[in-house]
Structure 1
Amino acid sequence: MIVTDLDTKHGTCSITPESTEDLWALRRLIKKGDVVVTRSSRVVKREEEFARPDKGERVKVTIALSVEEVRLDRSLERIRVKGTILEASEESVTKVGSHAITISPGHPITLRKEKWTPFDTGLVTPSGERTTRFVIVAADRREAGVGSLSGSHLKLVATVESGLGGKQSEEQSARPYLSKVADLVAQTTVEGDSVIVAGPGNFKNSIANAIRERLKPASLTVLEGFDLTGSDGVRALVKAPSFQSVAKGSVVVRMQEIVSEVVKRISSLDPKVAFSVARVSQAAEAGAVEALVVSDDVFASGADEDQVVGILNEVEGAGGEVYLADSSMEFGKQVSSFGGIVALLRYAVRPY
């Protein structure tokens, strides 16, 4: 999340979400009565001599919207904000009319609040640091899969086929393939990303060298003892012990630790665990939640959006950890199987 001009005295903050996690943070931050200022499109009708009376023109305008409702669009990874127009840069836009805007990663907004609470400022400045992002390459001399991992969200970028024959291993023959992989990694990487290269045999070292020459990344690590390549390799690497050792302390590793401990406590009948929206809600109300993981498909089971948002806010307000899991990842699927939300508890909470 890119945050600039946070001015709690005047109640304004400029925000650009960069990920699904950031959208969830905005969903929890933007409330009824707030004002969102952003660029949007709206149909306006021109009062011109030869214009058709029923025809409007869609124009880009800057709109200040008094918020009435905020909702997550789970399938398209965006949030939808509905409200009343207070200000508009286009004179022909009806003031005090209703409008809806969608906010997705990369869409900048300015948020105005009557009062910014410490909890609100914590949502936009959780640590003052950027979430660690990894660019993952799972490759040998036949194929290379490239993906990016931000938080727990894994995006498969592409798979590059080498076209090399079974006996071709000369550097000259492999050069076009190495260049393609290095170019793809360069296109995927942003400043500060850590690049991880893994795969069977020694050819991964040639790929790593090509990436270094093309990109000079802030960090590049070659992992041994991993035999999968392509898109399957990218998916599998995230849960490999070698990756978890390198990425220790990252969000994705912490989530896997929490989910693993949840499963362990459930298996051993340890009462200091909760799963399902109803049980986790009770634990959150009691201030008992130490760490919580919610799946991005928690609403597939019919969970109420406002209730889930309330749980997350309550847990963080009591000093607990809150994480959003990608339901396509293995540990995300585990969370989904437990009702879409799981929690480690500081102490047992009796169900009621």
Structure 2
Amino acid sequence: MITKIIDDSTVSFLVEEPDDLLVLRRIIKNQDTIISDTTRVIKQDKDYSRPDRGERIKIRIALEVEKIALDAVFDKLRIHGTITESTNEAVSKGLHHSILVRIGDSFNVVKKKWQPLELKLIKTKDESLGFVLVAIDRGDCGIGKLKGTHLELMQNMYSGSSGKQYKTSFNIQTFFESVAKALNTTLRENDSLVIFGPGETKRQFANFLAKSPISKAHKIEIVDGIDSGGEDGIYTFIKSKVMQQILSQSKLAKVSSILEEIMIRANNKSRKFTMGFEETKKANDLGAVESLVFSEKIIQTHDENQIIQFLNDVESKGVKVYALDASTDIGLQVSGLGGIVSLLRFAVDV
């Protein structure tokens, strides 16, 4: 998420990933003001206009927040409230309106006073590293963008070769050029590039990129031990131990380490972990939580406001909190464990 502090009461936001929507859900409160571009249907008063239809126009409004809620899969944030200012005279103050915030949207949030936790949440950038994953073989290539804990896959690319009996017209350089072109549309500033797959194709492709502008703007790392290309290779890498080593500073690697430690403690019959909301809430009340991981399931199966208040309370105590969605197996694993798990500083009877 890109943020800019405008003044003491106003912060500008640009949403980049699903995690950002969750952060916004945690910081936007009732009676805050949202300033955003939106659309609204205006009824027509013309002689021949249909009474049941209107014209949808673009306007900029200030909305006093009355209700805010996440979409079930963390990809949209709906903000409902009352219009206090409008750039169109046909849209008067006092009307109710909803703004749907998606990835790529920008808007301003105005508060009477920003709380320390809210400022902490919007200023956390040290873990927002982006990684573009390339699982390449002579036959196909999978490209995935890992931002935070969210994995976005591009459509598989195919080289046109057919197994070991390559067509005489097959030119792997042409395939590499197509993959590099796709990467140019995916890579963002400060993203790192991780290349893996079976055989030597990954090194050939890395050598190809070494002669392109991509190598000057982005760190490139080659990974051995992943024997699949395409989309399967991406998922294999995400679940591997080598992912934790190569992407050690990423949120996903840290979450993977936390889950691995929870499994070790469970096997050792240690009580220094929790699974499920009730256990985790009791441990938090005792100040025992060290780090916490939750998935979208916890908000789907519990009262959203209660969960948001709980997460803010946990983080206000200095606990590191990580959110997951269903784009990775790790997110699905946390959902299967009740939607929320934690490591504890000390054993508690929950």
Shift of 1:91: 0.6
Shift of 1:334: 1.9
- Cα deviation, 1:182-207, whole Å, max 9, x if unaligned, reads 11111111111100000111111121
Matches within 5 A, 1:196-207: 196-207=194-205
| Aligned counterpart, 1:188 | 186
Equivalent pair of 2:127/2:249 in contact (CA under 8 Å): no
Of the structure 1 ranges 284-293 and 325-334, higher mean CA displacement relative to structure 2 is found in: 325-334
Equivalent pair of 1:147/1:158 in contact (CA under 8 Å): no
| Aligned counterpart, 1:31 | 29
Q: Does 1:314 align with 2:313?
A: yes
Shift of 1:130: 6.3
SS at match of 1:86: strand
| Aligned counterpart, 2:174 | 176
Shift of 1:169: 9.3
| Aligned counterpart, 1:268 | 268
- Cα deviation, 1:286-335, whole Å, max 9, x if unaligned, reads 222110000123234x2221122122111110000000123342222221
- The runs of 4+ residues in structure 1 deviating greater than 4 Å are 169-172
TM-score normalised by length of structure 1? 0.93
Equivalent pair of 2:62/2:83 in contact (CA under 8 Å): yes
Equivalent pair of 1:273/1:344 in contact (CA under 8 Å): yes
Q: Indicate how the Cα distance of structure 1 residues 254 and 6 shifts in structure 2: closer, same or farther if over 3 A, else same.
A: farther
Listed as ranges, the gaps of 5+ residues in structure 1 are none
Equivalent pair of 2:244/2:257 in contact (CA under 8 Å): no
Equivalent pair of 1:182/1:210 in contact (CA under 8 Å): no
Equivalent pair of 1:285/1:314 in contact (CA under 8 Å): no
Listed as ranges, the gaps of 5+ residues in structure 2 are none
Equivalent pair of 1:71/1:80 in contact (CA under 8 Å): yes
Matches within 5 A, 1:132-281: 132-165=129-162, 166-168=164-166, 173-214=171-212, 215-216=214-215, 217-281=217-281
Of the structure 1 ranges 328-337 and 45-54, higher mean CA displacement relative to structure 2 is found in: 45-54
Q: Does 1:304 align with 2:292?
A: no
| Aligned counterpart, 2:336 | 337
Task: Give me the whole-angstrom Cα distance separating, in 2, the residues matched to 1:334 and 1:76.
Answer: 17
TM-score normalised by length of structure 2? 0.94
Q: Indicate how the Cα distance of structure 1 residues 78 and 188 shifts in structure 2: closer, same or farther if over 3 A, else same.
A: same
Of the structure 1 ranges 248-257 and 281-290, higher mean CA displacement relative to structure 2 is found in: 281-290
Shift of 1:76: 6.5
The aligned length equals 347
SS at match of 2:154: strand
Q: Does 1:77 align with 2:79?
A: no
Shift of 1:281: 1.6
Task: Give me the whole-angstrom Cα distance separating, in 1, the residues matched to 2:243 and 2:130.
Answer: 13
Q: Indicate how the Cα distance of structure 1 residues 41 and 76 shifts in structure 2: closer, same or farther if over 3 A, else same.
A: farther
SS at match of 2:270: coil
Aligned-residue CA RMSD in angstroms? Answer: 1.9
Q: Indicate how the Cα distance of structure 1 residues 171 and 117 shifts in structure 2: closer, same or farther if over 3 A, else same.
A: farther
Identity of aligned residues (%): 34
Task: Give me the whole-angstrom Cα distance separating, in 2, the residues matched to 1:59 and 1:85.
Answer: 15
SS at match of 1:175: helix
Shift of 1:229: 0.8
Of the structure 1 ranges 14-23 and 285-294, higher mean CA displacement relative to structure 2 is found in: 285-294
